[in-house]
Structure 1
Amino acid sequence: MIIEGALEAPLFTSEPSDTDIAEFQAWVREAGQALYRDLPWRNTRDAYAIWISEAMLQQTQVSRVLSRWERFLRHFPTVDALASASSADVVEEWQGLGYNRRALALKRAADICSAEYAGRMPEGVDKLVKLPGIGDATAAGITAFSRDVPCLYLETNVRAVFIHCFFRDAERVTDKELCPLVERACPAEDVRGWYYALLDVGARLKKDHKNPTRRAAAYTRQNKFEGSRRQKRAWLVREVMAAPGLSSAELLRRLNVEERKSGRDGVEGDEFESIMADLAREGFFHREGDGWLA
């Protein structure tokens, strides 16, 4: 199958027949084969390596993850290696991927796996979701791609395919409506290949058509990063790691220099203290005297 121009998909009702499901499966397989992306994390069944890829891909573009996944694994090749590292080292290696809290969650989950599962990832969605930072989709991804067993993997690209094909004119489509279809369509064998096909088809659909996930009840538009509280948090994390021991006054002064360089108003002391309190509570750094350390 050669796909030229926009990807055209078969359309069904939200209550498809068995014949409809079979037709849908055949189309996904065929289109997925033509659109297959040979991504490095698809060439392993190691649950730890797959977990790292799933965590990175949660809110970061594939193109950025491509240059960072293997590098992260070189630094922390096993669960035990990640558990043995300091939180500061993990966060530093995570820089550039965004949402630094994911790095701390990885570290905390690795600590648990090292202590309670002999340095291995637990098997089964029910056990995986109990680890910090691992939700239903990540747990299912780890399970499907490492063990090749049927499970309910509903992430943004998968959601896009099912909304486009089964809810053509619907708005605010809920996961409660989608989950039975995702489960029903999931094959008993080659689950890895099935979900890889869905991911690649979904990625293409979102390029060729108005993004179907915008019609999902779960969809939220990401706020602008520039000038946001999230940007200030990220800058402060980098600054404390680069120059440990800086006082609050000096950090605020440096932050405001950067803000004004970008044409924005300076940060008020109350907002700065609120951000620092959040970062300290989340485990990014702590205070010693008047200095901040990662």
Structure 2
Amino acid sequence: MLVRAGGQRRVVFEFMPLMNDARPTWPPEAPSKEAFVALVREQGRALYRDLPWRNLDNPYAVLVSEIMLQQTQVARVKGYWERFMALFPTLDALASADTSDVLAQWQGLGYNRRALALKKTADVCAAEHGGLLPETVEELVALPGIGPATAAGVVAFAHNRPALYLETNVRTVFLHELFPGREGVSDKEIAPLVADTCPADDARAWYYALLDYGAHLKSIVANPSRRSAHHTRQSTFEGSRRQKRAELVRIVLASPEGISAAELAQRLDAFEQAGGRPPVDAEVFESITTDLVAEGFFRQEGDLFVA
């Protein structure tokens, strides 16, 4: 963010997640800061990926990409992002859309809560911000489903301002280059280094370099993020409650006239049995559908579930 003070312009770094007393401590076993920056920039130039959401001064378009990329591979996101932006090109267009249409366009990406949160963010921005996204990390994280990393991504990529963007590929680079052999490295150690290396004049290009180098490292080094203290193994999707939720949403969205609870339960049981799993317990079915209705994925009208 650029702030005027006594006629001078100064850069205020939007590093909201850092504690005020955090100071970067460069690891003694690591290469110098200058060598690290030079290496990342060199690798970034060599490994640059020309993705459709890059180098855009469009905060909404960047936000859509950042949310889609959460826990989803780039190759899967490309087509979805382009179709989504064609159908909902602005926040106002997304706010005006039916939730069922938004969820329908999200099918196949997984983690449907992301689509619901994005729709709610559009609704808030249309009602309270003139159809525009706020421009600061602090304001962005107040919106539904936007965490510090996503907010920093919007600030860095859409506005080209320095912000603390710490996600898995960025973390991978810092772990690999600055903490070789260390286990259980905390983000409290990494975050000040991310802030210290982010340039004031071109945060966008710097983070692109980190992302592309990190993606490359993950393709040649076995699970490099495992050495992070925050690394957790993703739970199995097959047969999980999350899979059942996704299938229920898919069935209801595919039933424009609505579907009875009994038929919905039967279709879910058929899905489970096709996967070699037992039918879903009635209490589990009721619990999941109750949650989905409460969260706004679909509504219940009498005995019918309707998108």
Normalising TM by the smaller chain, what interval? over 0.9
Q: Distance in 2 between matches of 1:17 and 1:270?
A: 55
> Which letter maps to 1:104?
L
Partner of 1:286: 299
> Which letter maps to 1:247?
S
Deviation per residue, 1:194-240 (Å, 9 max, x gap): 00000000001111112221111221211121111111111100111
Tell me the CA shift for residue 15 of structure 1. Answer: 2.5
Q: Distance in 2 between matches of 1:241 and 1:56?
A: 20
Partner of 1:252: 265
Partner of 2:106: 94
Tell me the CA shift for residue 18 of structure 1. Answer: 11
Residue 223 in 1 paired to residue 235 in 2?
A: yes
Tell me the CA shift for residue 245 of structure 1. Answer: 2.1
> Which letter maps to 1:170?
R
Q: Distance in 1 between matches of 2:246 and 2:134?
A: 31
**Pairing 1:195-274 to 2, within 5 Å after superposition:** 195-243=207-255, 244-274=257-287
Please tell me whether the aligned partners of residues 29 and 178 of structure 2 are also in contact (alpha carbons under 8 angstroms): no
Q: 2:174 aligns with which of 151, 159, 162?
A: 162
Please tell me whether the aligned partners of residues 118 and 145 of structure 2 are also in contact (alpha carbons under 8 angstroms): yes
Q: Distance in 2 between matches of 1:285 and 1:37?
A: 37
Runs of 4+ aligned structure 1 residues displaced above 3 Å come to: 16-19
Q: Distance in 2 between matches of 1:17 and 1:241?
A: 54
Partner of 1:189: 201
Partner of 2:20: none
> Which letter maps to 1:25?
V
Deviation per residue, 1:241-265 (Å, 9 max, x gap): 1114211111111111121122111
**Pairing 1:42-53 to 2, within 5 Å after superposition:** 42-53=54-65
Please tell me whether the aligned partners of residues 160 and 211 of structure 1 are also in contact (alpha carbons under 8 angstroms): no
Secondary structure at 1:292 match in 2: strand
Partner of 1:7: none
Identity score, percent: 60
What is the TM-score normalised by the length of structure 2?
Answer: 0.89
What is the TM-score normalised by the length of structure 1?
Answer: 0.93
Residue 40 in 1 paired to residue 40 in 2?
A: no
Call closer, same or farther: CA 1:17–1:149 in 2, change over 3 Å. farther
> Which letter maps to 1:291?
L
Tell me the CA shift for residue 106 of structure 1. Answer: 0.3
Gaps of 5+ in 1: 1-12
Partner of 2:159: 147
Deviation per residue, 1:37-92 (Å, 9 max, x gap): 00010131100000000000011110000111110001100000001111111111
Single out whichever of 194-203 and 254-263 deviates more from structure 2: 254-263
Q: Distance in 2 between matches of 1:228 and 1:48?
A: 32
CA RMSD, Structure 1 to Structure 2 (Å): 1.5
Instruction: Flag the structure with higher helix content.
Output: 1
